[in-house]
Amino acid sequence: MEHRKIGQNDSSISAIGLGCMGMSDLYGAADRKESIATIHEALEKGITLLDTGDFYGVGHNELLLREALQGQKRENAFIAVKTGVLRSPDGGWIGMNNRPEAIKNALAYTLQRLGVDYIDLYQPARVDPSVPIEETVGAIADMVKAGYVKHIGLSEANAETVRRAHAVHPISWLQIEYSLFSRGIEKEILPTLRELGISLSAYGVLSRGLLSGKWSKDRQGVDFRSFAPRFMGENLDKNLALVEALRDIAVEKQANVAQLAIAWVLSKGEDVIPLIGARKRSQLQDALSAVDLQLSKSDLERIEAAVPAEAVAGTRYAAEQMGMLGVE
């Protein structure tokens, strides 16, 4: 497995990472044994990056990772954890808390649930508008000094926030949605990251399944995608037409749409690390195959012509959720 540097230090991680959220949250029930088998196969195939959050399944995801990592060498896994999102007993989403004392308290529980002595990368899941980013990053920096955290990351932050955070402590990556259907970061955020030497952890590379090549307008929504604008009405029709345009190119490359979409993200730079939200080993295989899919300059031009950024219909989240983001 190819490795890519993270931030400006000597650390490196696998070129793709396994996003574990769907094993515990948002996409309906997952098979526990298959989830663990998927994590094991990812590690066996050279994927070192495992991405989780303390609020995924209200702690379930971290406990699942702990079980999966039993008997594994700690250094073989680069564990990235998001924090700061508040949940209610019924699983509802009730806000954010990135105050320094809350961050440190959450880390204590995360270390216990994961059964580890340190976290490779710790990051607020969203920017809390009520807490200066300097205070949040400063709190995590304290935990770096204490040896509980190796790297600091940010998620869904705009360029100005990234600069302010980086002035407090070096930021190793920004985790943000980036795909053929979500390219807004190319205008300002990605250039800022490259200026500062910060890596990009790209999630949503398949646009929550739209770019899997397997979604159809007849598929009935049974999870949060039922309320996602890109999956609704005429928006869905327009977006699926874009997917079909990609399918023709994928066939020529002896690949499928998902592999083509992942390979496109991989091609955007050595500082870009896609996260693959696989819940099954079969889904993981698409990602592994994408690493070896070589795209020429001509291929990239055709792909981007088939899916112009402005042609994608609908925002990536519903209006209320979009309001929680620091970016478009």
Q: Which residues are catalytic?
A: 56
Sign of the Cα torsion 98, 101, 105, 110 reads positive
Q: How far is CA 309 from CA 158, 210, 242, in A?
A: 19, 15, 11
Give the β-pairing of 12-14 and 3-5. Answer: antiparallel
Residue 293 is encoded by which pair of tokens? Answer: 């899919």
Residue pair 77/50 in contact (Cβ under 8 Å)? The answer is yes
The alpha-carbon radius of gyration of the chain (Å, integer) is 19
Cα–Cα distance between 264 and 295 in angstroms, integer? 7
Sign of the Cα torsion 196, 201, 205, 208 reads negative
Residues 6+ away with beta carbon under 8 Å from 31: 279, 280
Residue type, 6: I
Q: At which residue do the structure tokens 């190319």 appear?
A: 186
8: left (phi over 0), alpha (psi -120 to 50) or beta: alpha
